[in-house]
Structure 1
């Protein structure tokens, strides 16, 4: 209840926070496992993950996790790990956005270190070919289906222009837009992200209902209206296209599979037993 209240309050104040909390869990688990390393601040001896390329100036929600942790420490000190808080907050953010509920297995412990280099190497990028992304998922024990399902988390949230802008004006050095983009979708994006570099931090919705967790994301891919290259690639690759079609036409199937895939992702590289610790503050080790 403490986690839920804080997540609800954060989303009321900033609806974008739902997507940010989901992304925070993903970025934690994909770098050396779900052990809250992404929350650690830099020290004189350690350069952590917060300022790695995929996270710097784009990953959000640290203050929400800190607020939850502070409340939990008052009611049940040294009991709930930061890693478990991140997993619970992601689930609650999805549910409060109209998405599915799933039971989150608990008992993770927090790691003792973080690595900027690992974040730069292990996190999938929207600029990467699908083969690279599939390989990175496989390294975490996640298969092609999980690539498609977890990418569906992009049904909520927004992306900064720099993550897709090259598709609008100079795709692959052609001097022209990405020819696969729907024409009206392209026009709207060029308005949101005009050519001058000053627009790079402007935001565009990841799908047309980006505050609601639904299956519109997959329908957009079939209509050549996927915002990120890595998303649109799912609709044309023979390994993933049938699943995109299925989820676009059977949103209940996506609904059920998303929770299952989140549990699987949330189990990557967990620390349990006597390893790690339960941090009293999420930004530093005890």
Structure 2
């Protein structure tokens, strides 16, 4: 082989290696921190357990925080960023203001991770793991899934994007489904991920229109089960009660299970967007299915969470590993 051919071959080999290296580094990996931060899962689990022990609502809050992060331009930790002179963050967007919580839990976990593995684990991966642990600690081993890791943190946030991209409980099902499909998710993912409403609470403002003046009729929503309606009218009187709280699942409020779907079958869904799943033949069939088979819901919930956790992630050399989840480095 003449020298020129040899040089060409060497350059080609180097190019192939660089491409392969880029592809590997650009993917999420189930063992991403096995060597660089082997105690990561334990640290996150302990942090979430401590938070839930102090406030049972925190399990749902961490799960919702992860959802609201991923639905705004991908899972990049943007929901954690404070406002700066160059961008207005997502914390005060309509779906998040005085509603999204759990930032201090992520901060505490991040601080403990930094002590063990400095500048190694992204805030986005911590939030993703915290959401999984919140479900696991609220349900047990049947609701456990392996989380692929290696996300990096974004360097900007967008209040306007949060206002536009996060589904609202007041939107019709077709609008919500469209927002999911725009992220690469499906109608099945809509039904499955809505099952997260088996834990947590909602402010009266998010469903009170169903209690007194549904669709400007001057009457309650006729589909709402009568005993639940009476209880909710007591919790949320038609005056200054917008910030009062009601459980999304009044039957097993703090346990992650499939009772959410049983509630929908019984016309006891709290949010209009939840009960709307029974108004579509495809989604209602899935609701009935999950109401009968809790282990299949557990399996599919983990699958959909992994799918959601991969939305437009930053990997490889993109983004950064924030030292403080509130600010860009």
The two structures have a TM-score, normalised by structure 1, of 0.99
Helix, strand or coil: the match of 1:253?
A: helix
1:250-269 aligned at under 5 Å gives the runs 250-269=293-312
1:150-229 aligned at under 5 Å gives the runs 150-196=193-239, 198-207=240-249, 208-229=251-272
Q: Which digits, 9 at most, give the CA deviation of each residue in 1:43-101, with x for residues without a partner?
A: 12210000000000000000000001111111110100000000000000000001501
Provide the rounded CA distance (Å) in 2 between the counterparts of 1:262 and 1:122: 18
Alignment equivalent of 1:75, drawn from 107, 116, 121: 116
Provide the rounded CA distance (Å) in 2 between the counterparts of 1:117 and 1:200: 24
Provide the rounded CA distance (Å) in 2 between the counterparts of 1:136 and 1:239: 17
Is 1:134 aligned to residue 177 of structure 2? yes
Please report how far the alpha carbon of residue 175 of structure 1 lies from its aligned counterpart in structure 2 after TM superposition. 0.5
Q: Which runs of 5+ in 1 are unaligned?
A: none
Is 1:233 aligned to residue 276 of structure 2? yes
Is 1:104 aligned to residue 128 of structure 2? no
Q: Equivalent residue for 2:186?
A: 143
Provide the rounded CA distance (Å) in 1 between the counterparts of 2:134 and 2:298: 15
Q: Equivalent residue for 1:30?
A: 71
Q: Equivalent residue for 2:160?
A: 117
Provide the rounded CA distance (Å) in 2 between the counterparts of 1:120 and 1:200: 20
Alignment equivalent of 1:44, drawn from 78, 85, 106: 85
Provide the rounded CA distance (Å) in 2 between the counterparts of 1:138 and 1:95: 27
The total of aligned residue pairs comes to 285
The two structures have a TM-score, normalised by structure 2, of 0.86
Provide the rounded CA distance (Å) in 2 between the counterparts of 1:167 and 1:204: 14
Which runs of at least 4 in structure 1 moved beyond 3 Å after TM superposition? none
Helix, strand or coil: the match of 2:210?
A: helix
Please report how far the alpha carbon of residue 239 of structure 1 lies from its aligned counterpart in structure 2 after TM superposition. 2.0
Q: Which digits, 9 at most, give the CA deviation of each residue in 1:196-220, with x for residues without a partner?
A: 1x11111100012120001100000
CA-atom RMSD in angstroms:
0.6
1:3-22 aligned at under 5 Å gives the runs 3-22=44-63
Q: Which digits, 9 at most, give the CA deviation of each residue in 1:174-214, with x for residues without a partner?
A: 00000111111100100110111x11111100012120001
Provide the rounded CA distance (Å) in 1 between the counterparts of 2:145 and 2:299: 9
Helix, strand or coil: the match of 1:104?
A: coil
Provide the rounded CA distance (Å) in 1 between the counterparts of 2:241 and 2:276: 25
Please report how far the alpha carbon of residue 155 of structure 1 lies from its aligned counterpart in structure 2 after TM superposition. 0.3
Provide the rounded CA distance (Å) in 2 between the counterparts of 1:251 and 1:242: 15
Please report how far the alpha carbon of residue 235 of structure 1 lies from its aligned counterpart in structure 2 after TM superposition. 1.4
Helix, strand or coil: the match of 1:204?
A: strand
Please report how far the alpha carbon of residue 223 of structure 1 lies from its aligned counterpart in structure 2 after TM superposition. 0.4
**Which structure has the bigger radius of gyration?**
2
Provide the rounded CA distance (Å) in 2 between the counterparts of 1:98 and 1:106: 23
Please report how far the alpha carbon of residue 238 of structure 1 lies from its aligned counterpart in structure 2 after TM superposition. 1.2
Helix, strand or coil: the match of 1:97?
A: helix
